[in-house]
Structure 1
Amino acid sequence: MKPPPFEYHAPRDLGAALRTLAEVDGKVLAGGQSLIPMLNMRLAAPAHLVDINRVGGLGASEVTPEGVRVGALARHAEVERAAAHPLLTRALKLVAHPVIRNRGTVVGSLVHADPAAELPAVLAVLGGSVRAARWDTAGGGPVLREVPAEEFFVGPMESALGPDELAVSAFFPALPEGSGAAFEEVSRRHGDYALAGVCAVVTVGADGAARARAACVGVGAGPVVVDLGELGPVRRAGWKAAAALVREATDPEEDIHATAAYRRHLVGVLAERALRNAAREGAAARGA
């Protein structure tokens, strides 16, 4: 299979990349692990391809007490090795295979907005954001905006980015004090997209009460986020009830791999497991 014809652009700086996007109707190439197969299968046919791999300054990641900001060209494997954020690191280990993680980018996965992908769920459950840039023709310079996760994922394979915008970074907030995180998923084969998955963040207070939040993959038009709020001192029965709330919030579809009922059942099982594991980690962090 071969991609449809397109005009290739290889800007050397951010300004040139943004000006190109402002002038043409094109797709951005970073890691290419999603875009290239779509081109080859003729699922996408852009007239222009804007390769940002030569743009300086987009490959760095910055770690602060507030969280981790990942640049547009930071590869999955690089961010995984840095281990700067526990939930992000866990999710990256679940992304496809090492050869894909060596080339694919964290921000590219977010922009691709696949509802079965792990990283959109991580950004959503943490309440993170994506920084987008466009070229202001009148002002003669770039204009930045920060798009929160709840507004960024518009639908399946659709983000809130405008056609002239470039996602330059993504911000993953740090876990609150006394928090634990977990990511659980089930796939037919190692490296496949998950039939269903759940990531959870549980914060254990000084009084032993837990506050929980979960996000699901593969069971909705985008990451399905459930804020479980203050759960009190949770025991086994409590996690089962909380997992039921997560399960009921999903709306999976049936396909050749699994029925909707099976996916919904998986979400309940995985949610309980993720919540319990995250709570155990949070209690250890709290010293309880």
Structure 2
Amino acid sequence: MYETTYHRAGSVAEATDLLAKSDDGKFLGGGQTLLPTMKQRLAAPSDLVDVTRIPEMNGISADGDGISVGAATTHAEVANSDLVKQKLPGLASLAGGIGDPAVRHMGTIGGSIANNDPAADYPAALVALGATVVTSKRQLAAEDFFTGLFETALDEDEVVVSVKFPAAAASAYSKYPNPASRYAMAGVFVAKGTDGSVKVAVTGAGQDGVFRMNAMESALGANFGPDAVAGIAPDAGNLLSDLHGSADYRANLVTVMAKRAVAAAS
């Protein structure tokens, strides 16, 4: 690891000010991606601005009928929250399946979505639930926030403060994890809104990251049951293909995971 200067911010304003004063600084959440990259000397930020102790970036609270999750809230806190389990059980289940216990107790929701790994779990939940990402500058709809592989709409000096999730009548997530990394080879989040609308979002399989399955949404709008999506699969030409699984294999996984998610949501 190259030499770096560590700062612990006490507020969002202080965090953005510290970053602005650095030569090539980075915000630090749980550090599950950034720190290993630094240890391999593949990244060398001049400064690290730790945002995990900022009060407004921590905790889970009711937000109207939905919930608000601070960006520095860990996966374990999301998974174990009674409020999340009650209002959005699919989100709690998703968080409980991320990595291993060490990762879940260090990794944060804000760090995960800001990194936007194509196989990360949270992007599927944010898109399917119609979440809003609150940053130090603005509010962004989830579908506008995720822009491609490891890419988001965040500016260099912008940090995620919280994520707002609206209420859902039903929600569930199912993924086929890579046996080594526990990242999703295909993960499907299904959400039925309080107005009866259905959204289906897929992670781990797309060449450009998270994407929606419009055909599945239409089918589930007419019949919210596993059989409705049994014959629907994404175009394999748009999916990832690697040593862990071909594009055709992932296309089949999406269908299987969607059926499981719908069954769980039902």
Distance in 1, Cα, partners of 2:239 & 2:204: 7
Checking the alignment, whether the CA contact within 8 Å between 2:119 and 2:183 is kept in structure 1 is: yes
Q: Are residue 173 (structure 1) and residue 166 (structure 2) matched?
A: yes
In structure 2, what is the equivalent of residue 269 of structure 1?
256
Which secondary structure state, in structure 2, belongs to the residue aligned with residue 53 of structure 1? coil
In structure 2, what is the equivalent of residue 7 of structure 1?
5
Checking the alignment, whether the CA contact within 8 Å between 1:218 and 1:252 is kept in structure 2 is: no
CA shift for structure 1 position 273 = 2.4
Distance in 1, Cα, partners of 2:102 & 2:182: 14
CA shift for structure 1 position 10 = 2.4
CA shift for structure 1 position 73 = 1.7
Distance in 2, Cα, partners of 1:13 & 1:234: 44
Checking the alignment, whether the CA contact within 8 Å between 1:187 and 1:194 is kept in structure 2 is: yes
CA shift for structure 1 position 155 = 1.3
Query: Of Structure 1 and Structure 2, which has the larger fraction of its residues in helix?
Result: 2
CA 1:201–1:109 in structure 2 vs 1: closer, same or farther (change >3 Å)?
same
Q: Are residue 159 (structure 1) and residue 120 (structure 2) matched?
A: no
Distance in 2, Cα, partners of 1:235 & 1:36: 43
Distance in 2, Cα, partners of 1:250 & 1:21: 41
CA 1:74–1:237 in structure 2 vs 1: closer, same or farther (change >3 Å)?
closer
| Code of the aligned partner of 2:151 | E
Distance in 2, Cα, partners of 1:212 & 1:53: 34
Q: Are residue 106 (structure 1) and residue 109 (structure 2) matched?
A: yes
CA shift for structure 1 position 122 = 0.3
Choose from 129, 133, 144 the match for 2:132. Answer: 129
State the Cα deviation string for residues 97-117 of structure 1 (Å, max 9, x = none).
Answer: 111111111111111111101
User: Considering only CA atoms, is the larger Rg found in Structure 1 or Structure 2?
Assistant: 1
| Code of the aligned partner of 2:127 | A
Checking the alignment, whether the CA contact within 8 Å between 2:236 and 2:251 is kept in structure 1 is: no
In structure 2, what is the equivalent of residue 217 of structure 1?
203
CA shift for structure 1 position 40 = 1.4
Which secondary structure state, in structure 2, belongs to the residue aligned with residue 31 of structure 1? coil
Q: May I ask how many residue pairs the two structures share in their alignment?
A: 257
Which secondary structure state, in structure 2, belongs to the residue aligned with residue 49 of structure 1? strand
Which secondary structure state, in structure 2, belongs to the residue aligned with residue 238 of structure 1? helix
> Percentage identity across aligned positions?
34
Q: Are residue 82 (structure 1) and residue 78 (structure 2) matched?
A: no
In structure 2, what is the equivalent of residue 199 of structure 1?
189
Q: Are residue 64 (structure 1) and residue 67 (structure 2) matched?
A: no
| Code of the aligned partner of 1:224 | F
CA RMSD of aligned residues (A): 2.3
Unpaired stretches in structure 2, ≥5 consecutive residues = none
Distance in 2, Cα, partners of 1:204 & 1:123: 16
CA 1:236–1:201 in structure 2 vs 1: closer, same or farther (change >3 Å)?
closer
